[in-house]
Amino acid sequence: MLDVQLIATDMDHTLLTEAGELPPHFDQKLDALAAAGIQFAIASGRPLYTLKAIFPKHADQLVLISDNGGVIADRGKIVAKNLLPQSAIQQMVQTALAHTDVRPMICGINGAIAPTVDRQYDTVYREFYHNLDYLDDLTQWQGEADKVTLYLPNGDAERVFAEIIQPQFGDQFSAAVSGPVWIDIMPQNVNKGTAMAQIGKLRGIAPEHMMAFGDTFNDAQMLSFVKYGYLMANANPGMASYAHLHTGSNDEYGVVQVLDQVLAGKFDTRD
């Protein structure tokens, strides 16, 4: 008999539709999972304050893995906070600014900070970073940050990652492509997979009792860590080796398709 105790899902292009919406009546699905004794987790590159705003009724019942594991909250309490050194933040910012198609953003714990010249991207930024300020010179910023994110308006994140970011920062930090226009850089050994391991240790839940859903490279470690890793039908083709199970696309509510099977006790691990 299937014994799933912890289920985690990515947000963008996974749980959320391409219109940025949750599946219909998802609050009811969360209530049903809780009643069944299954802990639900959101594992996202989005910051904690944004995730709380998306789930106002359930934020204190969920595990929220924010900034790809930079900050982890378990039922309303922060249980892990992984910060970048100030010197590293400045190095990342300067590297980004040296390339005209790479726009840096410092992901502070309480809000994101972008260069004033990038206000033209405000609508895009605020979809993910609800608390956002601008600063003329990012190199003057001081504070706590767990991630530097790079926005690639030309959609060439995979190329820039391979040619610039991975060679320069890959040895000392966790860096990942999180979408066609996004690259995230976090402290070393910080990713959604290590976050799942931390929650598992806190809760006494082994990977064989975990399930996860994702679509792109910042989901890779999480999908590999859990026993039941699901790729969305709309997943990046390069993700094929990280999960052996598949579900429908985000617009087909693929996550909910599997959740319904779990709740009905009719879960089938055959792909």
Burial label, 240 (beta-carbon count in 10 A; 0-12, 13-18, 19+): exposed
Helix or strand holding residue 147 (H, E): strand 145-151
pLDDT on residue 46: 95
Q: How far apart are alpha carbons 97 and 165 in whole angstroms? A: 13
* Residue (of 193, 224, 226, 220) closest to 208 by Cα position: 226
Task: Indicate the pTM of the whole model.
Answer: 0.90
Cβ(45)–Cβ(178) under 8 Å? yes
Cβ(178)–Cβ(216) under 8 Å? yes
Cβ(185)–Cβ(150) under 8 Å? yes
Q: How far apart are alpha carbons 168 and 92 in whole angstroms? A: 9
Cβ(26)–Cβ(58) under 8 Å? no
pLDDT on residue 100: 79
pLDDT on residue 98: 93
Per-residue pLDDT tens listing for the chain (271 residues): 478 999 999 999 999 999 999 999 999 999 999 999 999 999 999 999 999 999 999 999 999 999 999 999 999 999 999 999 999 999 999 999 998 789 999 999 999 999 999 999 999 999 999 999 999 999 889 999 999 999 999 999 999 999 999 999 999 999 999 999 999 999 999 999 999 999 999 999 999 999 999 999 999 999 999 999 999 999 999 999 999 999 999 999 999 999 999 999 876 665 5
Q: Which residue segments constitute the domains of the chain, with CATH numbers given?
A: 6-81+190-264 (3.40.50.1000), 86-187 (3.30.1240.10)
